[in-house]
Amino acid sequence: MEATRKPFGKTADGRAVDAFVLDNDAGVRATLTNYGATLVSVLAPDRSGRIVDVVLGFDTLGGYLAETNPYMGCCCGRFANRIANGRFTLDGTGYMLAANNGPNALHGGIVGFDKKLWEAEIVGDHAVRMSLTSPDGEEGYPGTLKVEIEYRLDEQGELRIDYAATTDRKTVLNLTNHSYFNLAGGGKVYDHVLRINADRYAVKDETSIPTGELRPVAGTVMDFTVPTPIGRNIAAVADDLGYDHNYCLNQFAPGELVLAAVAKEPASGRTLECWTTEPGVQLYTANWVENLPGKGGAVYNKHEGFCLETQHWPDSPNRPEFPSTELAPGETYTQTCIYRFGVEA
C-alpha cells in the first residue's frame, strides 16, 4: 500500500502538523508525525492475527505538545542522553548547555529536536523522510547542523530508521529514537523476555552520568545476555525505580549493523529485534511515568513500556576514552536503527 499523509493538528503558534501512515502486506502499520520526528504507533499482529498498538503514545497532537510528554517516540537531539553539568570542551573551547535534568543536559536541552516541527515528504510507497536545520548556537551547541531521518517499513515488518547529518563547524552529535514499546499492548512489561548483546554496562553516578567504569553484567541484575524476563530483577535495580542504563554492545564496528537486543512477549508471541550501527543501547523501563493519559483512554504508569535507545554512550564529549561523538565540517554523520516486528508460533 502507498504511504499516506493526513493532518494531525496544529502547534500552539498555528503551524500545521501531519501524520504519515506506512503499511505492509504482513499487517504491520506504522504511523509517524513530523512533530519531533516521532513514531506515534505500530500496529502489529499476534500469533492468532489479533492486532494491537505496541508503541505507547497519544491519540492527538496535544499529548505530544504537553510538557508532561516523556519523549514518547521522538527523535532526541542534538545529544541524546546526558552531558554532565551541561558542559563540554571541544578543541579547547568550552560550551555551556541548558541543565534540564538535575545538574545535567538531557536529550538536547529545553527545546530539543523532540519539540521541533520537521519538514517531511513521502519517499516511495513505504517511507517518509524528515529534515531539520538547527542553527549555530542552538541550545548552546556549535555549528549549523542539517539533519535528515528516513523511516521505511518493509514487507517483513522491519521499521528502518536512517539518520544523516552535516555541520559547518565542529560539533558533537548523538541521535536516538525514544519509543516506548509494550508488545502485549498494555500492562506491565515484567513478562517480556529480553536479551541484550552486551557483556558490560556503564556504571553511573547518582545523577546518571557514567563514572567511566564499564562493569561486567555477569552475575548481576543487569545481565540480559541470556533471555530474561524484564521483571525478574527490576525491583533490585536503582532503589526500585527500574532500568535506565547504557549497555555497551559486544560487536560494535563503526557503520556495521549488529543485533543489539531481542524482546519477546510470551502470551501474544510478538517479538521485537533491535539492530543498530551504534556502540550502545539504553534500556529504560518508563521509571518516571506516572498517571499519564495515553491512547484510547489508557493511563500509563511506570514499567508499562520499555525503550531500546540505540546511541553513543552518555557524556561521551567529556569522556575521550568513549567512542567519539564529534562531527567536523566535510564529514557526514550516519546512523541506522532497525526495529523488526515479528511473531512466534
C-alpha angle 307-309-312 in degrees, rounded to nearest 5: 155
According to DSSP, the residues that pair with 223 across neighbouring strands are none
Predicted pLDDT of residue 227: 98
C-alpha angle 22-258-76 in degrees, rounded to nearest 5: 55
Catalytic pick among 126, 138, 139, 178: 178
CA of 86: how far to CAs of 25, 183, 248, 344, in Å? 46, 35, 23, 44
Instruction: Determine the Cα–Cα distance for residues 141 and 154; give it in Å rounded to an integer.
Output: 35
Read off the pTM: 0.97
Cα dihedral value 45, 48, 52, 54, nearest 10: -60
Phi-psi region of 8 (alpha: psi -120 to 50; beta: other; left: phi over 0): alpha
Q: Which residues of the chain have pLDDT under 50?
A: none
309 is catalytic: yes
Q: How does DSSP assign 95-152, residue by residue? A: EE----BTTBEETTSTT-GGGSB-EEEE-SSSEEEEEEEE-TTGGG--S-EEEEEEEE
Enclosing domain of residue 12: 4-343
Predicted pLDDT of residue 236: 95
- Residues 238-268: tens digit of each pLDDT: 777 999 999 999 989 888 999 999 999 999 9
**What DSSP designation does 78 have?**
S
Predicted pLDDT of residue 115: 98
Widest distance between CA atoms in the chain: 59
- Pair 252, 278: CB distance under 8 Å: yes
Side-chain-side CA neighbours of residue 217 (13 Å):
23
Domains in the chain: how many in total? 1
Catalytic pick among 107, 192, 309, 312: 309
Predicted pLDDT of residue 274: 98
67 is catalytic: no
CATH value at residue 217: 2.70.98.10
Predicted pLDDT of residue 2: 81
Instruction: Determine the Cα–Cα distance for residues 94 and 42; give it in Å rounded to an integer.
Output: 41
